């Protein structure tokens, strides 16, 4: 899921959001202000309901972020590399650039997400009771009660044993533990996820046709379609990873890529590097020879022609800490999840602090095309 707005870093993890999340926030605020809160706590002003609705929407989004941060922080502590978190229409996605090496590790960082939602839900609900919740709650108590309900619902729904939900990953971890075969575990969990998705689509259609619930029916069908697509993607991804098993980054990378100094102008970079090479990206180094970033053709094109003679390369390069990196001995399958970002999906290969190669998305694509048909599924 593409990121439209960066929220910075939390606990060292990059966090961004997709515009679709703003639609969800608006719908939540509207539903609370016009229906849910007036029914739960009547007699308040419209302004009060809208204020509570807007605040609740943002608190819920913060709860989603807490859910994903729990996944990512525990994964990092277990040695899994985390690219970042993107919040969007269906919640959040933690992006991992390396796989867990054991079913126990995967189960642990998967389970803490729903656990965080359940704990938050219980806390919100207990606080609502403490400030006067019950049969006739005040507005604050009703708002906290809803936050408790929605977080508990999120936690329970995520534990459904169907890919790509957390419960599906827990099921995959269990099958992986029992069989020792990660690919088989992925296939079984993915197919169970597909079955659940078909049931959700059928439920949505039945809700629309027999109960007349247009919004609820369409939402269920849409959610089922998303889960179906994601489960199929997980199964395909598992097959690709299996096909690439045993292949290292060293076997795929372009060795000893041409580096450009970052203290030259954009005009010099175009004449001396871009126009004289078949490559469109160049690692850059500073005046001491230290790797400083990645210069892309897209970044050069953004510089106005009249500014190219005065703009330095270091002002437009993608910083090295924003570019994916790997060692030459790593499994190349670890690079399948590399996000585009300012590095345009490139990975810099570094051994002992020195740049030894570079891998582009097209390198990975060609490898997949060669490897998948040649290996048994």
Mind telling me the catalytic residues? 68
Angle between helices 139-158 and 103-130 (to 10 degrees): 160
Burial string for 344-369 (b: 16+ CB within 10 Å, else e) reads bbbbbbbeeeebbbbbbeebbeebee
Smallest Cα–Cα separation from 111: which of 58, 57, 155?
155
Distance CA 84, CA 227 (A): 21
DSSP secondary structure string, 46-68? HHHHHHHHHHHHHHHHHHHHHHH
DSSP secondary structure string, 159-211? TSSSTTSHHHHHHHHHHHHHHS-HHHHHHHHHHHHHHHHHHHHHHHHHHHHHH
Supply 311's token pair.
């703009």
Distance CA 349, CA 303 (A): 28
Distance CA 13, CA 74 (A): 12
Cβ atoms within 10 Å of 229's Cβ, excluding its own: 13
Distance CA 87, CA 20 (A): 9
State the virtual CA torsion across 312, 304, 341, 272 in degrees, nearest 10. -50
Distance CA 4, CA 8 (A): 12
Distance CA 321, CA 333 (A): 21
Distance, CA of 259 to chain centre: 31
Q: Find all residues with CB under 8 Å of 342, minimum gap 6, and list them.
A: 294, 296, 299, 318, 319, 322, 323
Q: Is 178 exposed, middle or buried (0-12, 13-18, 19+ CB in 10 A)?
A: exposed
């Amino acid at each position: 899921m593409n990121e439209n707005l960066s929220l910075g870093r939390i606990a060292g993890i990059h966090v961004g959001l997709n515009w679709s999340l703003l639609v969800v926030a608006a719908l939540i605020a509207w539903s609370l202000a016009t229906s849910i809160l007036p029914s739960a706590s009547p007699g308040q002003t419209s302004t009060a309901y809208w204020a509570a609705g807007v605040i609740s929407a943002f608190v819920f989004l913060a709860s989603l972020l807490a859910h994903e941060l729990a996944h990512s922080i525990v994964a990092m502590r277990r040695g899994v590399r985390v690219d970042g978190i993107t919040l969007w229409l269906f919640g959040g996605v933690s992006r991992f650039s390396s796989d867990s090496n054991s079913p126990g590790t995967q189960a642990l960082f998967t389970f803490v997400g729903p656990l965080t939602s359940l704990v938050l839900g219980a806390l919100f609900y207990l606080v609502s009771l403490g400030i006067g919740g019950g049969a006739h709650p005040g507005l604050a108590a009703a708002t906290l009660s809803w936050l408790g309900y929605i977080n508990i619902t999120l936690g329970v729904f995520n534990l459904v044993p169907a890919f790509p939900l957390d419960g599906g990953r827990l099921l995959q971890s269990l099958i992986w533990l029992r069989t020792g075969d990660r690919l088989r575990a992925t296939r079984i969990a993915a197919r169970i996820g597909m079955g659940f998705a078909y049931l959700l689509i059928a439920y949505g259609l039945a809700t629309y046709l027999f109960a007349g619930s247009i919004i609820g029916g369409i939402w269920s069908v849409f959610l089922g379609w998303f889960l179906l697509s994601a489960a199929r993607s997980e199964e395909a991804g598992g097959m690709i990873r299996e096909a690439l098993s045993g292949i290292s980054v060293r076997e795929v990378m372009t060795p000893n890529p041409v580096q450009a100094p970052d203290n030259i102008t954009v005009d010099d970079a175009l004449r001396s590097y871009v126009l004289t090479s078949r490559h469109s990206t160049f690692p850059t180094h500073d005046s001491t020879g230290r790797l400083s970033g990645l210069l892309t053709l897209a970044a050069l094109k953004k510089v106005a022609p009249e500014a190219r003679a005065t703009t330095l390369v270091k002002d437009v390069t993608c910083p090295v800490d924003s570019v994916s990196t790997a060692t030459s001995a790593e499994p190349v399958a670890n690079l399948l999840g590399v996000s585009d970002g300012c590095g345009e999906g490139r990975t810099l290969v570094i051994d002992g602090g020195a740049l030894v190669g570079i891998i582009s998305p097209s390198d990975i694509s060609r490898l997949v095309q060669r490897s998948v048909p040649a290996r048994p599924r």
